[in-house]
Amino acid sequence: MSATVEATAAVTRNVHLIIERQKDPQSAPYTEEFIVEYKPGMNVIACLMDIQRNPRNKAGQPVAPVTWEMNCLEEICGACTMVINGKPRQACSTLVDQLEQPIRIKPMRTFPVVRDLVVDRSRMFDALKKVKAWIPIDGTYDLGPGPRMSARDQQTAYELSRCFTCGACVEACPNVNDKSSFIGPFAISQARLFNMHPTGAMHKEDRLDALMGEGGIHECGNAQNCVQVCPKGIPLTTSIAAMNRQTTYRALGAWLRK
């Protein structure tokens, strides 16, 4: 075997990771490098689990295990979202074979860091509460069949309902930061989803008023980063345009009624 082939084989047997870490919310971030053994088909979660089993850095020194969150491992829960090679994505569905090495992993800095790669996504759930992202019912008894929706509306609603609050769009949006109260593209899209529903439309005006208030849709800078990073391909910019139209009609109606 030639020296070149041997060198290539050596590279494919290992995965080099550079992870941005943080001991607690008040500590300064720092980077630490790790080397783990390559396995065919492994994802980033597999790399982190290898580090957890043997928490030693690239120099062989024992360190505290890297902390991160995960749950479904099927790109459904959104818990393992982190910035991988500069792009927010899910560690469970990001394969090592598709990444350039060294693999650089950071927490989503749009959110407060709890420790290492764990972040507090409370602002996302607060945004969903603000736009009343639910269908209200009057009880737990059988309400019978719901109102009919056209096949076209059903298809649109299905696309919007695939949002799993992963935070990728919020991380990519330049208008969401610690100096801004912007609720983010996902919440605007969810407001559109529930406004489309025949029963959810009962609170349509409340959602529009929320989008017209502080941190609302007017704070969107139309960067369109959100739609580029959404793992489910949700038409976020289409939703923003649709809700812009609805809030404009709402504002004009309020002005004409004066």
**Ordered domains of the chain (ranges, CATH):** 10-119 (3.10.20.30), 122-256 (1.10.1060.10)
Average pLDDT value for the chain: 92
> Is the pLDDT at 11 greater than 90, yes or no?
no
Higher-pLDDT residue of 253 and 71 is 71
Q: What is the pLDDT of residue 31?
A: 97
Which residues, other chains included, contact 227 with Cβ-Cβ below 8 Å and sequence gap of 6+?
A: 169, 185, 234, 235, 236, 237
Token pair of 3 as six digits: 């020296």
Q: What's the whole-number mean pLDDT along residues 61-84?
A: 96
Beta bridge partners of 113: 119
CA–CA gap between residue 211 and residue 224 (Å, rounded): 18
Q: What is the pLDDT of residue 199?
A: 87
| Among 31, 13, 10, 36, residue whose Cα is nearest residue 21 | 31
Q: What is the pLDDT of residue 257?
A: 80
> Is the pLDDT at 7 greater than 80, yes or no?
no
> Is the pLDDT at 4 greater than 60, yes or no?
no
Beta bridge partners of 119: 113
Q: What is the pLDDT of residue 141?
A: 63
Length of the chain: 258
Sign of the alpha-carbon dihedral angle for 235, 240, 244, 247: positive
Residue percentage of the chain with pLDDT more than 90: 83
Sheet of 87-90: strand order equals 30-37, 14-21, 103-106, 81-84, 87-90
Q: What is the pLDDT of residue 238?
A: 97
pLDDT in tens, 27-41: 999 999 999 999 999
> Would you call the peptide bond into 88 cis, given omega within 30 degrees of 0 as the criterion?
no
CA–CA gap between residue 55 and residue 34 (Å, rounded): 9
pLDDT in tens, 128-156: 999 999 988 766 666 677 788 899 999 99
Q: What's the whole-number mean pLDDT along residues 11-35?
A: 93
pLDDT in tens, 204-238: 999 999 999 999 999 999 999 999 999 999 999 99
| Among 186, 189, 193, residue whose Cα is nearest residue 169 | 186
